[in-house]
Homo-oligomer: A and B are copies of this chain.
């Protein structure tokens, strides 16, 4: 059916990449920005610290007062005030005086060093110092952490808790990020029903609904899932609506003869089909098109094929819509067993990597259990024949596909 006009995976990816992406931005409260992608450079708005402050619990003093201090020649300073964190002192420090100060509290005017609590002795309202305190000792200087005007983070950064902390300190309570793509998922298949232990004859559990929701979520996008009957008019209506409402449409199923390729037909009717049939196994009937300027990924109904198609064709596109650029990180390792492949196709075989050996999961194409037994794909390109036990092969770890590796 497709065998005559299957296109190589690379070509399919190029056609998919040719569909232009407009990155959308939004302004959100900083506390909601964890794992979001920064859509602006962060320029520091205020010096941090905003003032010279004490880095220790101790006493602010004038360093010059202590130049001669030693055990045999202790010096005594009068404590004239106390500054807690968040408070300021009204006193300007003059010779012979000290002010008790908390970590983080602003240095009182006139002072230029802090002596630690541990290094002094108390005598009534005086402190005894037996060692010279250096200029700026235990003072955090204004702007030494973040300097007003410097660019501290750049557009495209995926934000983590550390970043949020630094952005807050830089003076921001809101931040511009790339909008999460809204992804419409249309699951076709009259035979599909919700999970049940009492399946009617001919019915099958709609497992793709759960997988696709998770796959879209893991791509940092927002899934909107719908089940649609295998009927061209219904499908065309749904596709039309979803291509209006959402940024991307994904479909599953709709390629069996009795259904007359409803999904591909609907896409063709409403827009353009750019890819239909790729030299990949599993996943050969994968399609890609454009409706209302929105990309439409047409995946198989079989869960194993749909998962491979999402992994190879869809995920990185959705990430790119958020300014996240991922490449396939193929690594070489040794086959722990013979691996069969079909020549003329890119074979993507679920497998288990154990230490430095990879073992193909030997099942038929329709067997989804392999999903939970495997942790990587073996990649065998169009030109390579079977691989023998002990030979080298390329693998793609599932973990390497994730945004957060």
A160 to B163 Cα, complex, angstroms: 27
Checking B1, B45, B152 against A369 with a beta-carbon cut-off of 8 angstroms, the contacting residue is B152
Note all chain B residues with C-beta closer than 8 A to A364.
Answer: 55, 140, 144
Checking B102, B166, B367 against A207 with a beta-carbon cut-off of 8 angstroms, the contacting residue is B166
Note all chain B residues with C-beta closer than 8 A to A202.
Answer: 51, 85-88, 105-106
CB pair B405–A165 under 8 Å, yes or no, is no
Closest to A371 in B: B162
> Which one of A67-75, A238-246, A256-264, A331-339 contacts B?
A256-264
Note all chain B residues with C-beta closer than 8 A to A1.
Answer: 57, 117-118
| A383 nearest CB across to chain B (Å) | 24
| A225 nearest CB across to chain B (Å) | 8
A162 to B190 Cα, complex, angstroms: 22
A302 to B168 Cα, complex, angstroms: 14
CB pair A167–B210 under 8 Å, yes or no, is yes
CB pair B144–A367 under 8 Å, yes or no, is yes
CB pair A201–B106 under 8 Å, yes or no, is yes
CB pair A118–B367 under 8 Å, yes or no, is no
CB pair B84–A230 under 8 Å, yes or no, is yes
A365 at the interface (CB under 8 A from B): yes
| A137 nearest CB across to chain B (Å) | 12
Note all chain B residues with C-beta closer than 8 A to A203.
Answer: 50, 86
| A255 nearest CB across to chain B (Å) | 8
Note all chain B residues with C-beta closer than 8 A to A214.
Answer: 34, 160-161, 164
Note all chain B residues with C-beta closer than 8 A to A206.
Answer: 168
> Which one of A6-14, A16-24, A192-200 contacts B?
A192-200
| A173 nearest CB across to chain B (Å) | 4
Known A-B contacts A173-B196, A405-B399; the reply to A163 vs B371 at CB < 8 A is yes
CB pair A190–B84 under 8 Å, yes or no, is yes
Checking B31, B82, B171, B367 against A210 with a beta-carbon cut-off of 8 angstroms, the contacting residue is B31
CB pair A258–B165 under 8 Å, yes or no, is no
A168 to B87 Cα, complex, angstroms: 59
- Residue-wise, chain A 227-241 has the 8 Å CB interface mask toward B (1 for contact) of 000100000000000
Which residues 208-234 in A have Cβ within 8 Å of B in the complex?
A: 208-215, 217-218, 230
Which residues 126-183 in A have Cβ within 8 Å of B in the complex?
A: 140, 144-146, 152-153, 160-173
CB pair B209–A169 under 8 Å, yes or no, is no
Note all chain B residues with C-beta closer than 8 A to A204.
Answer: 49-50, 85-86, 104
Note all chain B residues with C-beta closer than 8 A to A192.
Answer: 86
A268 to B256 Cα, complex, angstroms: 69
Checking B87, B211, B402 against A190 with a beta-carbon cut-off of 8 angstroms, the contacting residue is B87
| A23 nearest CB across to chain B (Å) | 22
A138 to B51 Cα, complex, angstroms: 76
CB pair B103–A165 under 8 Å, yes or no, is no
| A322 nearest CB across to chain B (Å) | 17
Note all chain B residues with C-beta closer than 8 A to A118.
Answer: 1, 3
Interface residues of A, Cβ cutoff 8 Å to B: 1, 3, 30-31, 34, 45-46, 48-51, 55, 57, 82-88, 100, 102-106, 117-118, 140, 144-146, 152-153, 160-173, 189-192, 194-197, 199, 201-215, 217-218, 230, 255-259, 301-303, 307, 364-369, 371-372, 399, 402, 404-405
Which 9 residue pairs across A and B have the least CB separation, nearest first? A161-B214, A86-B191, A84-B258, A86-B190, A162-B371, A165-B211, A34-B214, A164-B210, A102-B256
